[in-house]
A and B are shown apart, each in its own frame.
Chain A
């Protein structure tokens, strides 16, 4: 196992309210780790700390460490962290005034890349990686928001991949999608782990079981259990995990 990301005693607050508490968790390189737990358990807070998005919220703060290849991300610039650790959100959020092409190339252009050939290659590669190329190859100039919900989500994934991140964080990427679009994203996650380290927050336990190599269960901001997904769903070590995944949770 090659460790890609590690959180060490990570806690995070929104003002006086603690979102996560003392979470130490390892994320294996080229593996998918799912984070599950009931609403408000800190899943999204955890991954937002992992690419320094938590700190942009007023009065939010965190303690502890997030290590990327052993390096503390809080010792790096937030911009470089977010380039190396990309994020895909629950609701697809393509830039509303931009075309499909411009959405995907936006990250590179913001970093000053103007070389059309390089931009073309990046758009092609990213859309192929996001399993969207065949569906949009003839409509690259169409507005990003004209695509279907599932296509928009894959467009956002392509946009995240365009800056060649090492880690991809996905915050409930399928919660607004129908089963067909969900299946496409899940297949995509399966393929993406060959090149990226993927972390998926999901409410859907069957989705965690389908796509993740490891699953972590959070409850009331604490890490209750992390294990290989097969093990966690077949014989969870903690009673609380068993109760949650079997639906015996009031």
Chain B
């Protein structure tokens, strides 16, 4: 077996890329946590912090894209190195989208203007949904950092809980709007929040599945929840 060696410039480039990716992941997760915290407390100041984070995420995404293009152009990477770079290119978009949804939630917080009556009660399933969505993002990020494919091979199944909660939240909010205990304009904003959280969870699934490809080369098939349920019967 030959001794361990490495192409120094490529290895250095990959190390820098990884550091940027970890930072990007941390910023994205922080943006969601802050956005949801701001929404729960109806604190407009937090929204400003989320807008700042969103800007940083976007700038870092561009830098990572440049890192990746440079590495491909200069080093013609193959095998795991190539998969790491192409995966990074793909999942920066997921992280960027997560940042954008956090920003969208922060904008809704501003529209409530800090005085929405029965806010905590109206949130209904949203806090639980938030918790699971953040756990999914966290799980995907940890898998990326640890290059751990097995922890996220079945991440799609974890996302089913978010989808169910979105459906439940939708029904709760529609009931309230139908019974006129909730203003339609306000209820629609809560529904948008559930939609953003559901999309954040979807992006976490994308990241997790890309990590599986990055580490093993396996492409995880996308299976609809209903088909998965039929399989396990």
Contact = CB atoms under 8 A, between A and B. Distances in A.
B79 A233 contact: yes
A117 interface: no
Interface string A197-228: 00000000110010000000000000000000
Contacts of A240: 1-2
Nearest to A242: B79
A233 B78 CA distance: 5
A210 B4 CA distance: 27
Contacts of A242: 79-80
Contact of B3 (A234, A245, A247, A250): A250
Contacts of A249: 2, 5
A248 B77 contact: no
Interface residues of B, number: 18
Interface in A232-249: 233-236, 240-243, 245-249
A174 B216 CA distance: 34
Interface-centre pick from A209, A235, A236, A243 (highest chain B CB count, 10 A): A235
B43 to A, nearest CB: 48
Interface residues of A, number: 17
A206 B76 contact: yes
A248 B1 CA distance: 12
Nearest to A205: B78
Contacts, number: 45
B76 A246 contact: no
B2 A243 contact: yes
Interface in A25-71: none
B220 to A, nearest CB: 14
Contacts of B79: 233-236, 241-242, 245-246
A186 to B, nearest CB: 15
A245 B10 CA distance: 13
A59 to B, nearest CB: 29
A250 B81 CA distance: 17
Contact of A248 (B5, B76, B82, B216): B5
Contact of B6 (A206, A234, A236, A247): A247
B82 A250 contact: no
Contacts of A245: 78-79
Contacts of A233: 78-79, 82
B83 interface: yes
Nearest to B217: A235
Interface of A: 205-206, 209, 233-236, 240-243, 245-250
9 contacts: A205-B76, A233-B79, A233-B82, A235-B217, A236-B79, A240-B1, A242-B79, A246-B7, A247-B5
Given A246-B80, A246-B81, A250-B4, 16 more contacts: A206-B76, A233-B79, A233-B82, A235-B79, A235-B216, A240-B1, A240-B2, A245-B79, A246-B77, A247-B10, A248-B4, A248-B5, A248-B7, A249-B5, A250-B2, A250-B5
